[in-house]
Amino acid sequence: MAFVLAVIPARLGSKGLPGKNIRPLAGKPLLAYTAEAALSCKRLNEVLLSTDSEEIASVGRALGLKVPFLRPPEFATDNAPTILALRHAVEWFEQTRGREVSAVVTLQPTTPLRCAEDVDRAVEIFLDHQPEAESLISVCKAGEKHPLTLYETAGDYLTPFMPGVNPTTRRQEFPLVYWRNGAVYITRRDYLLETGRIVSDRPLFYEMPRSRSVGIDDLYDFALAEIFLSYKGLLGAAEGVS
């Protein structure tokens, strides 16, 4: 039977917004939203918090998360990729628990509005496509973020980011595309350890609504997330989701 390990990476340092992983959002530390969703999941066999900070570890334990180690400092620098923290967590778990992991679910605290049902459904999709699938990512319809609306600079002028684009094309005629919202990443264990990659070239996807796809990098995003939380029921009804 597949064993699914979830890892919540939450380092202390952040160039854009120091301490954001435990910064209050609508009265609770940001980490609390991901902790509550993860601990309510039915398809996760184990949930670990990976952090380099005793302060974050203390908050995590108070939220019910397991924090059996502190992440080595070299895996928590501004330049250290998340894969190092995931690999460390997987290897620690397998060596200390004597149980091989089948899939690794990465849940970033900076996408706090996902719910347990999002994670469980994503895991179900991923497991239903084993052993072929290497990874899965959560996505949201592009909407106003559609690549056909993007431009890049050319001196004092702009040129379409995508060559051959007709700038007068109506939005209703845009092809359906998605953007990666950062809420859920799932990677097959052997693919993650052998390639050092979290996302493969051809990942599966799980679609989420905009109301649960807010990613937090700065204070503007905190404010946006609080608005979404305040109007959660209304937004969900408008998008046809619960």
Instruction: Decide if 58 contacts 77 (C-beta within 8 A).
Output: no
Q: What is the DSSP string of 166-195?
A: -TT--GGGSPP-EEEEEEEEEEEHHHHHHH
What is the pLDDT at residue 149? 87
pLDDT at 104 over 80: yes
Our measurement of the distance from residue 39's CA atom to the centroid of its chain's CA atoms, rounded to an integer in Å, reads: 16
Confidence of residue 7 (pLDDT cuts 50, 70, 90): very high
Which residues, listed in sequence order, are joined to residue 205 by a DSSP beta bridge?
Answer: 137
Extents of the domains making up the chain? 4-141+177-239, 143-176
- Does 233 have pLDDT greater than 70? no
Pairing of strands 46-50, 4-9: parallel
**Coil vs helix vs strand at 87:** helix
pLDDT, tens digit, for every residue of 12-26? 876 667 789 999 999
Count H helices and E strands in the chain, helices first: 7, 10
Mean pLDDT, the chain, whole residue set: 91
CATH of domain 4-141+177-239: 3.90.550.10
pTM: 0.91
Average pLDDT score over residue span 208-215: 92
What's the average model confidence in pLDDT over 148-176? 85
- pLDDT category, 230, cuts 50, 70, 90? confident
Residues 33-84 pLDDT 10s: 999 999 999 999 999 999 999 999 999 999 999 999 999 888 877 788 999 9
